[in-house]
Structure 1
Amino acid sequence: MYQTGNVYTIAAISIIGGGLFGFDISSMSAIIATQPYKCYFNQQGFNDVGECIGPKADVQGGITASMAGGSWLAALCSGYLSDRLGRKMAIQIGAVIWVIGCIIVCASQNIAMLIVGRVINGFCVGICSAQVPVYISEIAPPSKRGKLVGAQQWAITWGIMIMFYISYGCSFINGTGAFRAPWALQMIPAILLFFGMMILPESPRWLASKDRWEETRAVLALTHGHGDPESPFVVREFDEIREWIRIESEAKNASYLELIRPRMLNRTIIGVFMQIWSQLTGMNVMMYYITYVFKMAGLSGNNLLVSSSIQYVINVVMTVPGLLLVDRVGRRPLLLVGAAFMAVWLFANAGILGAYGTNPGPGGVGGNTPEASTEVTGAASKAVIACSYLFVASYAPTWGPPLGVVTVTTSPDAISLQ
């Protein structure tokens, strides 16, 4: 079968796996504020004007978090799966799992079924978010590795934006089609990913780990030598891989215990806490629940969804500088600058909501959103919206692209899979 050796094409196809995560984020954020969704999964009755209030706050939190739960479980076993079957096959399995999850989510008859479907979707996200960066880093040349691995984050931002506008368009559909249609359309990129991976080469490092040296050399020649196995770069890369395999063969049975041994502990802490602090920045809260934040800022109806979508556009655009800078400026300076700016905007938002917010009553803003428990108006409202946009604009170029790069490149291959 034909295989492409262009590293940009390889990255463009494989990062669709990141796009799936983005699709999932905005397929919830755009829908949770719509009446068809609230009425179908309604648990709290109606407000004074007959509008559905929707699921209870803790239940909605469970629905949203169920994907992350599945992702956590899958991430634990994705390294084993990838090591046994190969990077390509692991990503393709993730794509199949995603389609299965989307079918269940789309056909959901109740909240339990919706949660099960999202947990299954999370299995795919866990596999792809862990293995796509590894796959790209093992194929890309060192000079392009940072931006190509970071492109995974850019794919996430594109997935978020595209799916939000699809969900926004579907919000004008009457009945359950308003949320079933976008949930069904999520299957399309996974199908493209599955078939697209067929024309991509396997990771040369994985092939080498299985003693398939001729195939390793052939892939290196295809991706880095324009088909010439004697190219100086191919020979140098081949020798480097051979040396890595020799070193790692001394710890061939690398396990999770290896992560806490003295020689690896510092790297493990860096990798783990990079992921932890990325979540604790609040970026995913902004992605999932921006409609609640903007509802507290006094927006409603069409204005609410359109204004919410602007942050997704900002996310896509502002990730580009990060891709360009990650190999030039370095990972650490970007992370430090981004953390400082994000702290400023979050502190400002909290201060504005605390100082100028008023209690809208037990039904929340509008009487149908208990989660929107504070309301601001006038200049304070505009300030909350502006700070939310600036927060996203600070995260995208500084914490987005470097995140996967740091996690993958701080550990040897056998350990990074864990």
Structure 2
Amino acid sequence: MNGLQSLDMWKASFHNPGPSELGLLNAIQNVGQLLSLPFCAGYCDRFGRRKALIASATIILAAVGLQGGAQNTPMFILARGLLGFGLALNITAAPLLIIELAYPSHAAPLVSIYNSLWGLGALSAAWITYGSFRISNDWAWRIPSLLQGTSSAIQIGLCSLIEESPRWLVSVDRTEEARALLIKYHANGDANDPVVASELEEIRAALRVEASSQKTTSQWSGNGLVSYYLTLILDSIGYKTQDTQTFINAMLTIWGLVVGIAFSLVVNRFKRRTLFLTSTAGCLVSYGIWTGLEAVYENSLDADGNGGDEVAARGVLAVIVLFGFFYAIGWGTLQVTYPLEILPFGLRARGLVLYNLFCALALIFNQYVNPIGIADAGWKFYIVYDVWILVELIVVYFFFVETGGTANLEQVAKILGAEDEGGAESKDGSVAEKATTIENVMDKKHA
């Protein structure tokens, strides 16, 4: 949508939508997510992570076809809503499968790369629209719309080659399948490797404790402006032509992708709190500078809206790059990894749905309000994000628990105190005791 909004043919096809209409066209995708979210955790837990991926990708393909063939605004809106419906199930199942299937020491980097690869989609969209704006008919926006389906088609085609989550297999009494999977992928085919017995027993122990203890069965960091309304920001600082806007958008996506993947690869070398605090503090400083530069530029315009301060305009572009760096090293890398790390298996799917719910609610608000706020309040609207990022920094400092350095998902229960109530032990020993087993095995194996 960031790229489409810069295309003259897209604007013409949908009657040059104003701020309110743009908000609806963007936010409707997240409304679709809200409608889907109540079913996502149950579907993933009942049918498995892999089947959920196939079902969601199929829905997305149908939505892509509808968007690519849209003949009017209601049809385009329906397509975006259906896209969100399928996306919610996809972004629930995918990270669950990755973190539960990965070798313990690889889990955090892989989920972080998964989240950072949002930038790969943004990169594709940005450069596709940079090329398609030269087409002088509706295919300028229909081609990018249809190409959205490429990743879902690949996903469906490759799902037959992907294993199911061993934790899910154990939870549905398919333990031997889980054992065979761990032997093949975590022990290089060695059935006697202690890693297999340690991982399998930790999974069993954690599931037993969760079953006995269960009583019942950020998206406001300022990134929404750059991710969805870069066109309006560039308009506000004098960069208004579609070739300039699509090129800047394309270059920013390269930057975000490179930084995101780079920090994902080294995520285990840093503490989680360190990354979050550095990221949030950096975003706050960047946004404060951004706000000031926007004010300088707008105050330098003449009565006709021309003659803005060119140094301030270039400064805005530079600070957007800086903001992207700080956002990527913490929130861009860990915002999915961290919730999955702190949630036990029985709550992991539902907790991820809750995370996606609040993301969707925040995005609906942001995507509808942002264009109106930029148009009506100008640089003063950025102060809202300055204040909110400060609140985020306070919350991270006082409430985020450190989970870095744990050997696997089950060991996080030890950090968060999720043992048997009263310190009671299961017949095979406490989870806290077993949580050290795999760590010792891993240390010996790597040594």
Name the TM tier (shorter chain).
0.7 to 0.9
Aligned partners of 2:182 and 2:305: how far apart in 1?
58
The one of 77, 91, 98 equivalent to 1:115 is 77
Offset at 1:59? Answer: 1.2
Give me the whole-angstrom Cα distance separating, in 1, the residues matched to 2:300 and 2:79.
Answer: 36
Match of 1:407 among 339, 353, 359: 339
Q: Distance in 2 between matches of 1:104 and 1:361?
A: 44
Determine if contact 2:67/2:79 at 8 Å carries over to the other structure: yes
2-side partners of 1:202 and 1:237: how far apart? 16
- In the alignment, which residue of structure 2 is the partner of 1:298? 238
Structure 1 moving runs of 4+ over 3 Å: 251-254, 358-362
| Cα 1:30/1:360, change in 2 over 3 Å | farther
Conservation of the 8 A alpha-carbon contact between 2:237 and 2:308: yes
The answer on whether the counterparts of 2:33 and 2:85 sit within 8 Å (CA) in structure 1 is yes
Please give the alpha-carbon distance, in whole angstroms, between the structure 1 residues aligned to 2:302 and 2:183: 67
The 5 Å alignment of 1:59-74 reads 59-74=21-36
Identify the residue that residue 42 of structure 2 maps to in structure 1.
Answer: 80
Q: Is the Cα contact below 8 Å between 1:294 and 1:304 reproduced in 2?
A: yes
Match of 1:35 in 2: 8
Name the amino acid aligned to 1:248: E
Change (3 A) 1:361 1:186: farther
> By how many angstroms is 1:361 displaced?
10
Tell me what 1:288 maps to: 228
- What is the CA-CA distance between 1:304 and the residue it aligns to? 2.2
Q: Is the 8 A contact 1:151 1:323 kept in 2?
A: yes
TM-score, L = length of structure 2: 0.74
Q: Evaluate the alpha carbon distance shift between residue 314 and residue 365 of structure 1 in structure 2; reply closer, same or farther with a 3 A threshold.
A: farther
Aligned counterpart in structure 2 of residue 233 of structure 1, from 195, 203, 208:
195
Q: Distance in 1 between matches of 2:56 and 2:191?
A: 32
Instruction: Report what 2:330 is aligned to.
Output: 398
How far residue 252 of structure 1 moved from its aligned partner, in angstroms, is 6.5
The equivalent position to 2:93 in structure 1, one of 131, 143, 147, is: 131
**How far apart are 1:124 and its partner, in Å?**
2.4
Matched, 1:389 2:321: yes
Shift of 1:251: 5.0
Is 1:190 matched up with 2:190?
no
SS of the residue 2:219 aligns to? helix
TM-score, scaled to structure 1: 0.79
In structure 2, what is the Cα distance between the partners aligned to 1:351 and 1:158?
31
| Contact 1:254/1:414 (8 A) holds in 2 | no
Structure 1 distance, partners of 2:331, 2:340, is: 15
**Count of matched residue pairs:** 349
Change (3 A) 1:376 1:396: farther
CA deviations over 1:211-249 (Å, ceiling 9, x no partner): 011111111112212223332111111111111221122
Query: 2:285 maps to which residue?
Result: 344
Q: Kindly indicate whether residue 324 of structure 2 is the aligned counterpart of residue 324 of structure 1.
A: no
1:329–1:114: structure 2 CA closer, same or farther, 3 Å change rule?
same
User: Does the CA-based 8 Å contact 1:78-1:127 persist in structure 2?
Assistant: yes
CA distance in 1, matches of 2:40, 2:169: 17
Distance (Å, rounded) in 2 between the aligned partners of 1:365 and 1:190: 44
> Residue 381 of structure 2 corresponds to which residue in structure 1?
none
- For residues 69-113 of structure 1, give each alpha carbon's deviation from its aligned partner in whole angstroms, at most 9, with x where no partner exists: 222332332111101110000111110011011011111111111
Aligned to 1:15: none
1:269 corresponds to: none
- C-alpha contact (below 8 Å) 2:290/2:320 kept by paired residues: yes
Q: 1:161 aligns with which of 123, 126, 135?
A: 123
Distance (Å, rounded) in 2 between the aligned partners of 1:252 and 1:347:
44
Change (3 A) 1:31 1:192: same
Instruction: Report what 1:149 is aligned to.
Output: 111
Task: Name structure 2 gaps, 5 residues minimum.
Answer: 351-447
The letter for the 2-side match of 1:107 is G
- C-alpha distance in 2 between matches for 1:378 and 1:197: 50
Query: 1:183-229 CA distances to partner (integer Å, 9 max, x unpaired)?
Result: 11111110110121111111011111110111111111122122233
Q: Indicate if the aligned counterparts of 1:296 and 1:376 stay in contact, CA closer than 8 A.
A: no
Tell me the SS of whatever aligns to 1:345: helix
Matched-pair contact (CA < 8 Å) for 2:166–2:182: yes
Give 1:417's aligned amino acid. Answer: A
Contact 2:276/2:331 (8 A) holds in 1: yes
Change (3 A) 1:365 1:284: farther
Q: Identify if the C-alpha distance between structure 1 residues 204 and 92 changes in structure 2 by more than 3 Å, giving closer, same or farther.
A: same
> Identity rate of aligned residues, in percent?
27
Distance 1:236 1:376 in 2: 64
